[in-house]
Amino acid sequence: MLEEGPVDFGEGVEHNMTDGRRPLIAGNWKMNGGLDAVDDLAGALAGHMASLAAAPVFDMAVCPPFPLLPMIGAAIEESGVLLGAQDCHAAAKGAHTGDTSAGLLAELGCRLVIVGHSERRTDHDETDDLVRVKAEAAQAAGMAAIVCVGETEAERDAGRALEVVIGQVANSIPAASTAETLVVAYEPVWAIGTGKTATPDDAQEVHGAIRTALAERFGGNAAAAMRILYGGSMKPGNAAELLAKPDIDGGLIGGASLQADDFWAIAQAAG
């Protein structure tokens, strides 16, 4: 039996886990978007949400660059679109020039923080241990951590995709995670920004293995409620077949999240 009752996933956004996992469509803007994105992207998404005749059956989030958070937050206020960040520091505060604390992100209205994106693992040498403590900081600040995992092309070619991903899941995910404080994003590195997408069957194989690993660690009920997103060149043309897979519970979308209509079309595929 899944846990009964409404689960609060952000202000005013309630859903009942007995009805199954509510898809999450999250936009990772990366180092894109300027002041024009406040209206063109965030405002447009809020407009799309307002145009729905009934309450959405999916959660939608946008994760803009840090400086835009207050303005994007204002643009999506009351729209149901959730605000997320792309990273946080593991420490609560202190002498960490250029870094941002999870507490400040929460204060700015963030409900989610992406941690361990492959670009951060590569560009900033982030290890599983660092990703885990960042995720813990996000959770301690009252947000959900979107923990990213994924194999490189060489690792997949060597037949090591599952081993690599399950290792990252074991070491990057905090021990105290729950379905409310953890989202996993499977993002094969070779599919990110390349236009190459995992086939739905290949993605499902990895998502199924991730859920099994989560069940072994957190128990079957908790694992059944945890959302596992796919990321890597998801776009309107391939979203529906990916999201139709039983263990694909949404998307973490980069390039296609930068156009409001494309991003909205992906969300429609989730609904």
Cβ-closest residue to ligand PGA?
A: 254
Q: Return the number of the residue (141 or 253) whose C-beta is nearest ligand PGA.
A: 253
Q: 124 exposed, middle or buried (CB, 10 Å; 0-12, 13-18, 19+)?
A: exposed
Minimal distance in Å, beta carbon 27 to ligand PGA? 9
- Tell whether the torsion through CA atoms of 183, 191, 267 and 60 is positive or negative: positive
CB of 192 to ligand PGA, least distance (A): 4
DSSP string covering 58-119: SEEEEE--GGGHHHHHHHHTTTSPEEEES--BSSSSSS-TT--BHHHHHHTTEEEEEE--HH
CB-wise, 9 or 263, nearer to ligand PGA? 263
Provide the minimum distance between the beta carbon of 99 and ligand PGA in the complex, in angstroms, as a whole number.
Answer: 21
For residues 103 and 232, which CB has a smaller minimum distance to ligand PGA in the complex?
232
90 versus 234: smaller Cβ distance to ligand PGA: 234
Asked if 147 and 171 count as a contact pair (C-beta separation under 8 A), the reply is no
Contacts with ligand PGA, residue ranges (CB under 6 A): 28, 187, 192-193, 231-234, 252-256
The residues carrying an active-site annotation are 117, 187
Q: Where are the beta strands (DSSP E) in the chain?
A: 6-8, 14-16, 24-28, 59-63, 82-85, 110-115, 144-149, 182-186, 227-231, 250-253
Q: Compute the least distance from the CB of residue 45 to ligand PGA, in Å.
A: 16
Distance CA 19, CA 22 (A): 8
